[in-house]
Structure 1
Amino acid sequence: MKYLKIFSVLLLVLILAATAVGIGLYKWAAQDLPDYRTISDYDPPLVTKVFTRDGDVLGQFYREKRYLVSLDEIAPVAVKAFLASEDARFYEHEGVSMLGVARAAIQNFKAGEIVQGGSTITQQVIKSLLLTPERSYTRKLKEAILAYRLENHLTKDEILTIYMNQIFLGSRAYGIEAASREYFGKHAGELNLAEASLLAALPKAPSRLNPYRNPEGARHRQMYVLSRMLNLGWIDEQEYQEAVSQPLELKRMPDPSWQKGPYYLEEVRRRLIHMFGEEKVYEGGLVVQTPTSLKHLDAAQKSLRQGLEDSTKRRGWRGPLDNIEPEMQQGFLMQQVLDPEELEKGQWTQVLVTDVEASGADVRFGDFHGRIDVSTMEWGRTPDPSRAPEEVRAIRDATRILEPGDIVWASLQHKPEPDELMDESRMEPIVFEMALEQEPEVQGAIYSLDPRTGDVMALAGGYDFHQSHFNRATQARRQTGSAFKPIVYSAALDNGYTPASIVLDAPFVYDDHETLTSWRPRNFEGVFHGPTLIRDALVKSRNLVTIRVAQNLGIDELIHRARSLGIQEEFPRDLSISLGSVPVTLEDMCQAFSAFARDGSYVVPRLITSVSDSWGQLIYENDTEPVEAISHENSYIITSLLQEVVADGTGWRARALGRPVAGKTGTTNQQKDAWYLGYSPYLLTGVYVGFDQPRPMGRFETGARAASPIWVDYRKEVEEEYPVQDFQRPPGIVTARIDAESGLLAPSGMDNTYFLPFKAGTEPTRKSARAESDREEGSGSSGATEEDLLKQMY
């Protein structure tokens, strides 16, 4: 009895001591714990998604590939698979599983180190969001305390939702939704049992068990998960067997980022970072709406690429990419791994020239043979700067261009039928028809917006985004040449000029007394036309008339008009600005021209229409805010004259649309820059072409030849989206038939006349001296005398 009392006292002492130690350990571990309540404001790094107006994904920005989903958006079988794999008693314990702790302790004792944690899902959430990943008993104790507290703060479903979104599952995929897209190309709600069990196998070692790199390891762990689900009674034997025998097809959900419209997407990214900061863009899970469509973006990029390829061919052949010795040729071919079923008509590939004769060249690429006919090499002539490309004799002998060992670009002209490609009984190899190609050095850009709203419908800033991220539509500042003239004549219309005003087209010398130099501008064709209507000066792009008008207006008036249209560049105080000598971006020119396409107010282009946070809350909305610039009458008259540029001037290619279109070409000195800006009431599109380091493109590489074909090709692809519309004439406009020679009124039936628009009260009131009725009556009245013409000139 005495010993029993002693034992009881000792036992009590030990219990009290253990309790004291436990309390001490708890207080020690709990004294610097992070606030578990912050987990209820779960805000993990999420993917920012950029959408087109049609709901297509244009691209994504992220550091961790994670998409937030709720528990009811996950396939129920996937939830069961993760619970079976990680914490089958999740809905029973209070944050810590004593059974799991005991099992882990035994394994750690046997190993002599910490090899197993026995963590519940709640503890894993705590470890991921609040604690470091170190393996120690101290961290485990803190983890257990926080897990118990969290269980009393959040519901089980809330904790499980956080876990399913937070967990890393390999291949840069965080959370079940990202993993479903990464491994099976589907959403988490679409997973079947076999797929779900494979994903649930990954948390143990996501990098090592990555099924792309270690399919056997992933398969072995998947079988463990399925067995657990069967033993727990969560699936039956038939479901188990079906999942075990189901072959899994690994495939990634396509990421469209930087595929279609990469320049547009990059510009959106830059602007988002400017507005919200880099962390918010890459981790905030923003939902960004843009006004573009994949159709517009694809049409713009294709038309720009084709136009630049055509431009480089007009300058002739630059030579092969390389020429390799025979002993190196097999190595080159072995490096090319090409799937015949993925070869498409028009696709470019590098080919090895194996034999050349006058009629063409035999080539090899990978395991395939090809033939480049000499007819596809006709453009490969040596350029002659003094002659138009079509005047230079075409190449008719392939040996003048290629030789064996050359590495060149070639495009596939014909794709054999699949059964022909798979026919292993063929004795002779299939020979693909190919055409010689050449990547351009010249660059360019296309920018298209809806002038009614400012919505940027298309943007392509160069030939190939993956070669150069520099956006020539928004970042390159280049001289605009004659594309600036509508701005000059817009100012003229508000300072006494009309479309029927006459100005002298004659030699002009401007002496700069500060630099003691003289400037002698001339027209492009080097011809002087004498007295010229303002209408003809703009339509025919007469430089000397434009300079005389600018001189009469004064440089301040020109700068003021450009600024009122939104062009904020620094303007030098010399008359050359009237001919587009000031470098401007294509985006700024499109913005300025939007005033002509509208009612005189311009719109600031918008690539982003709205931004929402990851929970769908709108945080930014970009409403169109027109800026008053010029009168509606002014814009309508300029538009009417630019329609004449299309009908009777350098913008003639745009007539191919068969719709009301206004436009203006621009070409700078020595053809270093080529422009075309054209618009309808519903779509304004600008094109620029030129070398990144300015140099002549060739005497005939003008806005009409180098830029406007790109404009036409793009517009043909998208024009069907819009009904035919004409420009609305404002009430203050009248039209009159004008004698093209005198600028005075002309009766019907007279030749060489124009119908021109005027602000009411500014139209001519006198009849032309050429009027037949005046000559028959012999009145001798109101004809334009030489003195009259001279007065109008100045």
Structure 2
Amino acid sequence: MSKFIKIFLGLGILGTLAAAGIAIGMYYQVKDKIPTVAELKDIELQIPLRIYTADAKLIGEYGEQRRTPINFDEIPKNLENAILAAEDTNFYHHPGIDIMGMARAAFQLVSSGRIRGGGSTITMQVARNYFLSFEQTFTRKFTEILISLKMEQELSKQEILELYVNKIYLGKRAYGFEAAAQVYYGKPLAELNLAQLAMIAGLPKAPSLYNPIVNPSRALIRRNWILQRMLSLGMIEKLSYQDAVEAPVSAKNHGVSPDIEASYVSEMVRSELYETFGKDLYNEGLKVYTTIISDRQEAANKAIYNGVLSYDERHGYRGPLESRPDLIAADLKEQTKELKAISNVKGWQTAIVIQTEEQTLDARLENGDQITLSWDALKWAKPYIDENKTGPEPKTTADILVSGDIVQLRPIETTTEETGEKVQTWRLAQTPAAQSALVSLDSHNGAIQSLVGGFDYYENKFNRVTQSKRQPGSNFKPFVYSSALSRGYTAASIINDAPVVFHDKNLATAWRPTNDGGKFYGPTRLRQALYRSQNVVSVRLLDEMGIKPTLEFLRRFGFNPEKLPHNLSLSLGSANLSPLQIATGYAVFSNGGFRVQPHLIARVEDRNGKLLFQSEPMTVCKQCTLLEKASEDESQMGLFNVAGNFSTLPVAPRVLDPEVAYIIYDIMRDVIKYGTGRRARVLKRDDIAGKTGTTNDGRDAWFSGFNGQVVTSVWSGFDNSSPLGRGEWGGSVSLPSWISYMRHVLDEEPKSYIDKPSSLVTVRIDPKSGERALPGQKNAIFEVFRKTNVPAKRVVAVQKTEPQSTVSETQREEKTESALENLF
């Protein structure tokens, strides 16, 4: 017996030595995979790029892994308990490994030749997720144990649990529990109830198997098992358990939900930063704060959305998407499946007409709801014939749709008369073919405050603010007129608006420019010619000044002369320019003559909040005492003193004489008072100025306008340059969107005028000749001049028989210009 014991002990010793030898051998084999102390304490998570507005509203997120790291103190206690109940009850008591679990894993290895699972503590899961692969091998498991033991020595339990909560994969591209809360419930982790916390605590075991969206029944079983475990371990009370276990599955796929829709903006930022950071951009956790102001961005979105739909509806209904009468008899599941398969505008619903009445219809939405559309939601749908005409107004629903038609519906928010409660109804719709874009700048530093690149980013990602180059038409004329004023012309200078033929060597044939409508006005003051948008005057003016010097002058506004037409069509806006270029040029008028650079990124921070980039835009400095007049060199920088404080700041160069800037501003205020921008008078603001623009055949429609602080430009048209249709101009297509947006902006701001230089002189002139008014002349009007350009006095007596009129141009122009509201 003693001999047997000795043999047994000997074998035991040999086995122990052999096991130790194997362990040592394994250790040397895997030691390079064991992280150092520094690596353990300096673990960096892959965090997506996040882009925010200036007021910290999320507008975009880019990255394969959706993750929002949180600190241990931010982990809800119920979530901590649910994780421990589901994954590792003894977490706070073991040294990193579970001996019993390891025994089960060893038995699996002996019995099947492989490890099927089990035996992993939270610490071991952290080790595997951060440092190892997921292959089921003994070597990997042995390495996992070693790393776990080392982690327990170097990190606290709280630090380990924090790593686990932030790293673990929980399905739907969500990494970490904070991201999972957003993905499955659309709200922060701190706002989830016990049932929801237990649900996501069940995901680490098998994210696909227990996914509450894909497999709600299995997820429910897993959730309730965890709740039962929490109850048996004394983590929750019986009443809390009962409420939670009876709660329905409320998870939905919320994805990434930005606070503000600004997809064109976020893509611009992503594209710009990618050139610097490359692929690391998507996992370094950068936070980018743009110059976008959230409420103005929302106002811009609404303005473009409503503006495009308004244009689209007045040109008629192009008919249903399909006709599927067979689908009416299908079951609900089949109906919704077919409807969801049809692409649609974000936020809209595809629907099938179930039945029609005289002036109503019943329809099934893709979400399964059945609704009734009123006549108010249908009656706009006159048949579309072409861009110039529509069919007759419908009298009944049958004139528009029949049963089985598949249509698009858009949500409309209405207010009930009885209670004032806001309710959502539906309106017949169609995806517009026309497009529109808006960009708005702070004219004092070039900060882009809002930007909409098209009707629907998700349908077409082409950014028309920056990527589309279109002819601005008369929207370009103020730049040409400012050149004239800089060269001695005045607002009272007379140009004859009469038929003329030009034989320009840069034009293929003789050119006979005309005004829209074919009318000629005869001798016309420049002020009138600009706010009336008279083409012939603009062409004659450019011809008198010369094309080459005018092209060089236009460089001041940021335009490249080499890319502008070198012929007289330049005066009518035949250049191809983007809305951002136009808005940047108009900023010179808005700020009193300074050139600023548009910019979108305000600052960039790393994952720890360290500042990586801070924009330093060239800024208008009207109060500068050391730089009273900046040079035209765009790179010019210097010290300036504002209210006694010296600092170094990039100074926006002055590119336009302040006298010229003010006169142009004053003339463009008349565009809104009397001219083609009269609709903007609804804003009841006398500090705003602007200019319409419409190209040949109405292919492009513009309105650009400003006050002393903000400049906004709106373009509308078709991407394929088709005509917008008869009667569609800048004043009818783009100006309404500009008004909608600027109404919101101006409601927030006091009036802001362009400063009137004290050197300007206001005198009375003859409205017909532009000369100085005679003493006692009754029809004289006031005009503003630079001192060097004031007309000479005349002393000839005025005859008593001379026509009598007021000195106010306003009342006279009200009558003569009212017909011009939608022209040009």
The TM-score with structure 2 as length reference comes to 0.81
Where does residue 402 of structure 1 map in the other structure?
400
| 2:167 is the counterpart of 1:166 | yes
Instruction: Work out whether residues 494 and 523 of structure 2, in 8 Å CA contact, stay in contact via their aligned partners in 1.
Output: yes
Equivalences for residues 714-725 of structure 1 within 5 A: 714-725=741-752
CA distance in 2, matches of 1:292, 1:721: 16
Residue 468 (str. 1) matches residue 467 (str. 2): no
Give the Cα–Cα distance (whole angstroms) in 2 for the partners of residues 393 and 197 of structure 1: 60
* Residue in structure 2 matched with residue 584 of structure 1 by the alignment: 577
Q: Deviations over 1:647-673 (max 9, x none)?
A: 121111111111121010111111111
Residues 680-759 of structure 1 aligned to structure 2 (within 5 Å): 680-746=707-773, 750-759=777-786
Q: In structure 2, do the counterparts of structure 1 residues 110 and 230 end up closer, same or farther at CA, with 3 Å as the change threshold? A: farther
1:484 aligns to 2:476 (yes or no): yes
Number of residues of Structure 1 aligned to a counterpart in Structure 2: 750
Aligned partners of 2:210 and 2:548: how far apart in 1? 71
Mapped partners of 1:29, 1:198: distance in 2: 37
Counterparts of 1:93 and 1:435 in 2: how far apart (Å)? 63
Matched, 1:635 2:661: yes
CA displacement, residues 184-210 of structure 1 (integer Å, 9 cap, x when unaligned) = 444233445443333322211111011
**Structure 1 residue ranges without an equivalent (≥5):** 340-345, 421-431, 777-794
Q: Who is 1:604 aligned against?
A: 597
Counterpart contact for 1:376–1:435, Cα < 8 Å: no
1:420-447 C-alpha deviation (Å, 9 max, x unpaired): 9xxxxxxxxxxx9987655432211122
Match in the other structure for 1:779: none
Counterpart contact for 2:324–2:406, Cα < 8 Å: no
Alignment equivalent of 1:593, drawn from 579, 586, 592: 586
Aligned runs of 1:158-557 on 2, under 5 Å?
Answer: 158-230=159-231, 232-235=233-236, 243-245=244-246, 249-250=250-251, 255-257=256-258, 260-280=261-281, 282-315=282-315, 317=316, 319-322=318-321, 324=323, 326-327=325-326, 329-331=328-330, 335=335, 350=351, 352=353, 362=361, 364-365=363-364, 367-372=370-375, 376-377=379-380, 380=383, 385=388, 395=393, 397=395, 401-402=399-400, 404=402, 407=406, 437-513=429-505, 517-557=509-549
In structure 2, the CA distance between the partners of 1:375 and 1:68, relative to structure 1 (3 Å rule), is closer
Question: Partner letter of residue 492 of structure 2?
Answer: A
Measured in 2, the distance between the counterparts of 1:630 and 1:347 equals 47
Q: Quick check: 1:133 aligned with 2:134? A: yes
Instruction: Tell me the residue number matched to 1:618.
Output: 611
Separation of aligned partners in 1, 2:325 and 2:32: 75
Most deviating of 432-441 and 507-516? 432-441
Establish whether residue 95 from structure 1 lines up as the match of residue 68 from structure 2. no
**Is contact 1:95-1:123 (8 Å) kept?**
yes
SS at match of 1:602: coil
Q: Secondary structure at the match of 1:207?
A: coil
Cα RMSD after superposing both structures: 3.8
CA distance in 2, matches of 1:296, 1:591: 18
Shift of 1:70: 0.6
Is the aligned partner of 1:676 residue 2:675? no
Q: 1:453-495 CA distances to partner (integer Å, 9 max, x unpaired)? A: 4332322222222321212222111000111111111111221
What does the per-residue CA deviation read over 1:263-305, in whole Å, with 9 as the maximum and x for residues that have no partner?
Answer: 333333333434543431x323222323434432333233223
Q: C-alpha separation between the residues in 2 aligned to 1:380 and 1:2? A: 107
Q: 1:321 to 1:105 in 2, by over 3 A?
A: same
Give me the TM-score of the superposition, normalised by structure 1: 0.84
Q: Distance in 2 between matches of 1:362 and 1:97?
A: 66
Mean Cα deviation higher: 111-120 or 707-716: 111-120
Per-residue CA distance 1:518-537 (angstroms, 9 max, x = gap):
22222223233332212122
The AA in structure 2 aligned to 1:459 is: L
**Conserved? CA contact 2:762–2:782, under 8 Å:** yes
CA pair 150-336 structure 1, distance change in 2 beyond 3 A? closer
Cα distance in 2 between the residues matched to 1:704 and 1:3: 107
1:427 corresponding residue in structure 2: none
CA contact (8 A) 1:567 1:589 kept: no
Q: 1:87 to 1:479 in 2, by over 3 A?
A: same
* Alignment CA distance shift 1:616-1:655 (3 Å): same
Check if 1:575 corresponds to 2:568. yes
- Cα–Cα, structure 1 residues 7 and 369, in superposed 2: closer, same or farther, change >3 Å? closer
Shift of 1:517: 2.6
Q: 8 Å contact 1:353–1:402 — kept in the other structure?
A: no
Structure 2's unaligned 5+ residue stretches are 341-346, 620-651, 804-824
Q: Residues 460 and 374 (structure 1 numbering): CA distance in 2 closer, same or farther, change over 3 Å? A: closer
Say if 1:59 and 1:257, in contact at 8 Å, map to a contact too. yes
- Conserved 8 A contact 1:674-1:706: yes
What is the match of residue 426 of structure 1? none
Q: 1:119 to 1:364 in 2, by over 3 A?
A: closer
Distance 1:645 1:418 in 2: 39
Cα distance 1:97–1:319, how it changes in 2: closer, same or farther (>3 A)? Answer: closer
Instruction: Note the C-alpha offset of 1:771.
Output: 4.9
CA deviation string 1:504-528 (max 9, x = no partner): 2233333244675322222223233
CA contact (8 A) 1:744 1:768 kept: no
SS in structure 1 at match of 2:715: strand
Give secondary structure in 2 for the equivalent of 1:99. helix
Q: 2-side partners of 1:752 and 1:457: how far apart?
A: 44
1:137-196 residue CA offsets vs partner (Å, 9 max, x unmatched): 011112222223333333332222111100011232211111222334442334454433
User: Deviation string for 1:231-260 (max 9, x for gaps)?
Assistant: 555556666556545556435668433973
CA gap 1:541/1:186 in 2 versus in 1, 3 angstroms: closer
Give the CA deviation at 1:40. Answer: 2.6
**Equivalent pair of 2:317/2:382 in contact (CA under 8 Å):** no
Q: In structure 2, what is the Cα distance between the partners aligned to 1:254 and 1:749?
A: 75
Partner of 2:79: 78
Aligned to 1:781: none
> Does the Cα contact within 8 Å between 1:197 and 1:225 map onto a contact in 2?
yes
CA shift for structure 1 position 228 = 4.3
Among all aligned residue pairs of Structure 1 and Structure 2, give the percentage whose two residues are the same amino acid.
36
Deviation at 1:723, TM superposition (A): 1.8
